Chain A
């Protein structure tokens, strides 16, 4: 009997990526919620280099870093493949997953911005990324998702980041993924978040808002 455990933070886009992957493939797992301000000893044992989640433990073997974890899951459980089969398409997918992950630094900057100048700078950085995706990734009008008719790992990678962006939009009362600026991306996200398994596993917006407020207070000493 195979044992899968996921150590993560319910609000992290990286943990979300792994969760969605497991859920989409129907893989049973034990979810272990970690407290970022009080992580279990195992996190430091399993991930001495980065000391962070998500961490997947499969039959006692730990794996870190969300992109590596999801590719591993896709290999071990190949039904409902989330990575493209064609090697060129797979290379493109890896490129865009990295691009999505790279958005996190601007998102983090925005989440922890303490004045309007920092805020504007961070939003502009996020817009730069969104612009690239808007211009480059939606040229095939037949495709509803990056994966075609169904979502794939690139949808998941961008989806987890955009979810966090929507939380920041509400929390800071700013518009980031504006329809006028990014019509295709905007439409894509509306479709993505309504995919049944994604919808069922989307962290609650209010809960995330409260958590963001709490984090900002803790890290900035203010809201």
Chain B
């Protein structure tokens, strides 16, 4: 447990799947923290100070020491607070969990973002194809109720939070139960997990985030 001497601050933007990954990890471990909402189109001095390299949220600040990159943060949380472990203790299983989490970022999140923020039909078609390719691997990998096991959620589930964010909250159908029965069920179960449910944003909040994200991407393209 974080004692009163330990200061944990989290900088984020509500609706960001990367932020929500960290929030789930903190909640699973029962860590109290101060949350600071930032603005993607008007980044705070604090954000620029704590993440000068990428200037992106989420950033966790623990006793004045900043960490960025959501999966790095989640691993740090797991390393530092030992209760309710997020990663498996067996080194090989641990390596596999890291592999699937990285796969989420490399292949799934990018494809899902393109799918949601699609510009034209041709792009959407391509994004759908890429997403389906990636999701097929996940569908095959899912052996229990959650990626981590029958009743516990873990690193890979947490990395995949963007799926229920889109399927359940935004109600953007990434996939159907016919094509991806296991993932479809996983998404509902994960969304309904008490820890996850508590931190999920509302549909409105999520759409505000999408809008801000689209705006900041458009601004980047101009520059």
Contact = CB atoms under 8 A, between A and B. Distances in A.
A92 B69 CA distance: 10
B107 to A, nearest CB: 8
A68 B72 contact: no
B67 A95 contact: yes
Contacts of B137: 48-49
Given A75-B91, A91-B67, A99-B53, A63 B76 contact: no
* A interface: dominant SS: helix
A136 interface: yes
A65 interface: yes
B94 A88 contact: no
Interface residues of A, number: 25
Contacts, number: 58
Nearest to B102: A65
* B interface: dominant SS: helix
B76 A72 contact: no
Contact of B53 (A48, A87, A132): A132
Q: Could you say which interface size class chain B belongs to? A: 20 to 34
Contact of B95 (A49, A63, A90, A95): A63
Contact of A63 (B79, B99, B103): B99
A172 B200 CA distance: 51
Contacts of A75: 91, 94
Interface of A: 48-49, 58, 61, 63-65, 67-69, 71-72, 75-76, 87-88, 90-92, 94-95, 98-99, 132, 136
Given A91-B76, A94-B72, A99-B53, 9 more contacts: A63-B95, A63-B96, A63-B99, A72-B91, A75-B94, A76-B91, A87-B80, A91-B67, A91-B75
Interface of B: 52-53, 62, 65, 67-69, 72-73, 75-76, 79-80, 91-92, 94-96, 98-99, 102-103, 107, 137
